[in-house]
A = this chain, B = another copy of it.
């Protein structure tokens, strides 16, 4: 048996314990026993995920003049999902055990002979299709006419609006449309913490290009851009791979596709897919709706259906990746020669939930406490900051564990010289900085 490739620098138990202990991520509705496949982001997790989404948005929208923003509704007209193929084909195969009544995903069963739960043989039903879209009813009638779906992906909201968008934004291919939003999939077997969940957030870019022979070049450019994004935010290259799909692994209409995968403690897992999708999506909506979604080029007086390059990334998975990839246990020696271990999240400063912590060296010295609060208050409009007080070693340990890049200590000398000690998370290097120049010092580094 081949040893599976896994990340070994941290276990999922360590990550989930840290996430719970420090308030990154909690099971949803925990006081009622939780609900399988749903999670809540605590005070630090909500900031962390927000930063991950903002970092994506900055690369894909803010820094480009060829990508426009979009934000479509989670519940759309149900015909949308007929056109997209989700009603007919967004299925998992399920198998029931007639004896113990357990239900399994057929592709997760090692054998169709014997139930892994009750051990009986020959008790399985035939596999049957289970649609992964969550259904609801809209409007005051609870009949099939009012049936609607929670979107399983954000992309279709962009496709059905393609004409509205290019006309009002006056954009001409090549150009892109981006959105971030919640999607829902009724996963049979949610698992691996926030990796496979039923309610999740996607960041999708749909980039439309003319059929002029440059579509694969454009696809390559997006693969390079997205690779750069992960590098920019410090994801270790040895734990990231861009898996290029073989022709037989791609849909028939696609000329290329890449899965971006991260090496999690349980093995490789998909973070993002970058795909050439041909004209498949716009064609499908034109066919079912009877509406024109081609691009009309005023210059050449011709119309055509643009080719689509898509990047679809999971924001919860990327947030989990940031947590795992940043996690390090660092061995050291304390002043007494005793071996120590510190846990540090080496998060990129843009991703770190708290940018700077301000400490009062003593809890019971009003001058220090007041001075530290004044400094924290002055920094707050510019950097997400946090005041704390007490034992300095404990304070550093706590901030290291949540990835805060800088800690600032107000001590007795501060009252004399107006300077504070600034300690950097990764190098643990300490600088003495005038409190007046602190904002500038941090702005240069954050």
Does A49 interact with chain B (Cβ within 8 Å)?
A: yes
Residue in contact with A40 in the complex, picked from B30, B62, B71, B139, CB distance below 8 Å? B71
Which one of A128-136, A408-416, A425-433 is at the interface?
A: A128-136
Per-residue CB contact flags for chain A residues 335-353 toward chain B (1 = under 8 Å, else 0) read 0000000000000000000
Residue in contact with A28 in the complex, picked from B33, B42, B68, B76, CB distance below 8 Å? B76
Does A161 interact with chain B (Cβ within 8 Å)?
A: yes
Which of A40, A291, A376 is packed against the most chain B CB atoms within 10 Å? A40
CB neighbours (8 Å) of A62 from chain B are 380-381, 384
Residue in contact with A31 in the complex, picked from B71, B184, B188, B293, CB distance below 8 Å? B293
With A77-B34, A138-B35, A186-B140: A21-B168 Cβ-Cβ less than 8 Å:
yes
CB neighbours (8 Å) of A150 from chain B are 136, 150
Residue in contact with A161 in the complex, picked from B40, B71, B198, CB distance below 8 Å? B40
- When the two chains form their complex, are residues A32 and B160 in contact, meaning their CB atoms are under 8 A apart? yes
With A46-B69, A137-B134: A30-B168 Cβ-Cβ less than 8 Å:
no
When C-beta atoms are compared, the residue in chain B nearest to A29 turns out to be B77
Does A65 interact with chain B (Cβ within 8 Å)?
A: yes
- When the two chains form their complex, are residues A169 and B138 in contact, meaning their CB atoms are under 8 A apart? no
Complex CA–CA separation, A293 to B30 (angstroms): 12
CB neighbours (8 Å) of A160 from chain B are 29-32
- When the two chains form their complex, are residues A41 and B70 in contact, meaning their CB atoms are under 8 A apart? yes
Which of A73, A130, A199, A376 is packed against the most chain B CB atoms within 10 Å? A73
Does A103 interact with chain B (Cβ within 8 Å)?
A: yes
Residue in contact with A33 in the complex, picked from B23, B77, B381, CB distance below 8 Å? B77
Q: How far is the CB of A396 from chain B (nearest CB, A)?
A: 16
Complex CA–CA separation, A189 to B157 (angstroms): 24
Q: How many residues of A contact B (CB 8 A)?
A: 85
- When the two chains form their complex, are residues B41 and A72 in contact, meaning their CB atoms are under 8 A apart? yes
Does A314 interact with chain B (Cβ within 8 Å)?
A: no
Per-residue CB contact flags for chain A residues 15-39 toward chain B (1 = under 8 Å, else 0) read 0000011110010111111111111
Q: How far is the CB of A375 from chain B (nearest CB, A)?
A: 12
Does A391 interact with chain B (Cβ within 8 Å)?
A: no
Which of A168, A184, A385 is packed against the most chain B CB atoms within 10 Å? A168
- When the two chains form their complex, are residues A136 and B135 in contact, meaning their CB atoms are under 8 A apart? yes
Complex CA–CA separation, A39 to B293 (angstroms): 19
When C-beta atoms are compared, the residue in chain B nearest to A34 turns out to be B77
Does A63 interact with chain B (Cβ within 8 Å)?
A: yes
Task: Report 10 cross-chain contacts, Cβ distance below 8 Å, ordered by A residue.
Answer: A21-B168, A26-B164, A30-B160, A31-B160, A35-B76, A40-B71, A43-B70, A43-B177, A44-B168, A65-B377
- Interface residues, chain A, with chain B CB atoms under 8 Å away: 20-23, 26, 28-47, 49-50, 62-63, 65, 68-77, 79-80, 94, 103, 130, 134-141, 148, 150, 157, 160-161, 163-165, 167-169, 177, 179, 182, 184, 186, 188, 198-199, 285, 288-289, 291, 293, 376-377, 380-381, 384-387
